[in-house]
Amino acid sequence: MDPQNVSIRDFTGRQLSALLHSVGITENTDKSVGLLADALGPGGLHPASTSPVWPSGVADDHTPVEFSTAFAADEPPTVRMIVEPTATRPSRSANTSAALATLDRMRHRWNLDTHRFDAVRNLFLPEDPEHDFTFWYSLVFRADETPTVKVYLNPQVRGEAAAEGLVREALERTGFAAGFPVLRDHAVTRPGLDKYSFFALDLVEQRRARVKTYISHHAADVADVTRAAKAAQGVDVDRVPDFCLLTGGNTGTFDKRPLISSYTYLDGDVDAPSGYSLYVPIRDYVTNDEEARRRVLAVMGKYDLDPTQFDNALRTIARRPLDDGVGLIAHVSLRMGRPRPGVTVYLSSEAYDVATPRSISLAV
Ligand code: TRP
């Protein structure tokens, strides 16, 4: 499929539909593509053939969409997307308005529960955001289930100095105040290098809803992220060093894009989160996507995950030989603890652009 004359909405919608089929999610494809269209907002109608009208941070080439496939032992894969809603004429404030309009529409159509979002929205949606990223969606598609929706908010939206206060307050408002100190003590120990980067909420009823906090670890080594992983309970932190090695190669310090920790709070988690994920921005630590693919296969082998499922998904999204570019495989994450351990691989749409091998390291 050529992006020529195709809108971002249609381009990514076709990719989504193909990806869903490639992993065996064959029911209700049209509805799933409809959900993506809703989430993109009116900016999704812009053509994929011209340069981006908004510098979305979701993907390196500014496509406002990123795919991922989540693998777990003895379970069919899940397809997910990160989506930035944008306005017809995008700006920070126009995009926030468009995001809230999309949410209103989706709330009714998809029966979303926005209680927790409503409890924190005034923290994260100021009138003059200090950042381009204010509001992203995560859409999650599973076989035989209605898709679920999550919102990502930006703790830096009132400036870096205010980020910790925002996260603390947001955890308090969502019922997890007691789980905050353990996070700060393990994961935010290097001033100026460990940064609160995302705050996320499931838009489902509270009993099942997760609250997630993400911390980016700039110039971190394996010891730093192993310590960070210890903030979560019931997590086998011994898996961290090996995952770093398998995905990052022979790297001491991850000095390009940061490693990222996410902490999952579930109903009943009193003193600490019960889920931890580590994200490696693999695209910065390989020369091309074929090398990234081999590393992902090594990780999947280690955890007894079916490699053909990943290869099918990858082949569906790739429109070029894997060694002709880098960044199609953007991140790899290891999920530990609750709700479901496994491996997730993030795949770029590349609707606008492909990064040439190695050149990415110059851009960082
Ligand atoms: N593109 C951004 C980044 O690389 C945000 C992002 C997209 C991201 N997908 C992600 C961050 C997956 C962590 C994990 O940081």
The finding on whether 331 has its CB within 6 A of some atom of ligand 1 is yes
Q: Is 80 exceeded by the pLDDT of residue 258? A: yes
Helix, strand or coil for residue 194? strand
* Residue 361 lies inside a defined structural domain of this protein: no
Position 363 scores a pLDDT of: 44
Residue 10's pLDDT band (cuts 50, 70, 90)? very high
Q: What is the pLDDT of residue 322?
A: 97
Residue 17's pLDDT is what? Answer: 98
- Ligand 1 contact via 259 beta carbon (within 6 Å): no
Q: Whose CA is nearest to atom 2 of ligand 1?
A: 58
What pLDDT is recorded for position 193?
98
Tens of pLDDT, residues 260-289: 999 999 988 889 999 999 999 999 999 999
Is the pLDDT at 364 greater than 50? The verdict is no
Residue 21 main-chain phi, psi, to 5 deg: -65, -35
User: Which residue among 346, 347, 352 is best mutated to probe the pocket of ligand 1, counting the most ligand atoms within 8 A of its Cβ?
Assistant: 346
**Contact (CB, 8 A) for 307 and 299:** no
Q: Read off the pLDDT of residues 123-147 as tens digits, 9 standing for 90 and up.
A: 999 999 999 999 999 999 999 899 9
Alpha-carbon span 327 to 289, nearest angstrom: 7
How many C-beta neighbours within 10 Å does residue 131 have? 14
Quote the Cα angle for 202-203-207, to 5°: 75
Can you read off the two tokens belonging to residue 190?
């290097």
Q: Does residue 206 surpass a pLDDT of 90? A: no
Q: Hunting for tokens 């011994």 — which residue is that? A: 238
Does the beta carbon of 66 lie inside 6 Å of ligand 1? yes
How many folded domains does the chain comprise? 1
Other C-beta atoms lying within 10 Å of the C-beta of residue 108: 8
Nearest CA to ligand 1 atom 5: 58
**Whole-number Cα distances in Å, 127 to 53, 166, 357:** 22, 15, 40
Domain of 34, in residue numbers: 8-348
The answer to whether the CB of 13 falls within 8 A of the CB of 38 is no
| Contact criterion met (CB below 8 Å) for 361 and 284 | yes
CB-ligand 1 contact for 57 (6 Å cutoff) = yes
Output the CA 313–ligand 1 centroid distance in Å.
Answer: 19
Q: Cα–Cα distance between 234 and 274 in angstroms, integer? A: 7
Specify if 360 maps to a domain.
Answer: no
Residue 267 alpha carbon to ligand 1 centre in Å = 26
Is the CB of 58 inside a 6 Å radius of any atom of ligand 1?
Answer: yes
Cβ contact 116:209 at 8 Å: yes
- The per-residue pLDDT for 346 is 98
- Report long-range pairs for 27-30 (Cβ below 8 Å, ≥24 apart): 27/143, 27/144
Domain membership of residue 359 (yes or no) is no
Whole-number average pLDDT of the chain: 94
Mean pLDDT is lowest, of 71-80, 154-163, 332-341, for 332-341
Q: How confident is the model at residue 1 (pLDDT cuts 50, 70, 90)?
A: low
The pLDDT tens digits for 82-116 are 999 999 999 999 999 999 999 999 999 999 999 99
Q: Let me know if 74 is exposed, middle or buried by CB neighbors in 10 A (0-12, 13-18, 19+).
A: exposed
Phi, psi of 126 (to 5 degrees): -70, 165
195 lines ligand 1 (CB under 6 A): no
Over residues 36-89, the pLDDT tens digits come to 999 999 999 999 988 999 999 999 999 999 999 999 998 899 999 999 999 999
Q: Assess whether the previous peptide bond of 341 is cis (omega < 30° from 0).
A: no
Strand partners, 70: 78, 344
Q: Is residue 156 part of a domain?
A: yes
Is 354 a domain residue? no
Look at residue 176 in the predicted model and tell me its pLDDT.
95
Tokens of 220: 């971190």
Per-residue buried b or exposed e for 300-321, using 16+ beta carbons within 10 Å of the residue's own CB: beeeebeeebbebbbebbbeee
pLDDT band for position 317 (50/70/90)?
Answer: very high
What residue owns the CA closest to ligand 1's atom 7? 58
What is the structure's pLDDT at 360?
A: 46
Q: Indicate whether residue 281 lines ligand 1 (CB < 6 A).
A: yes
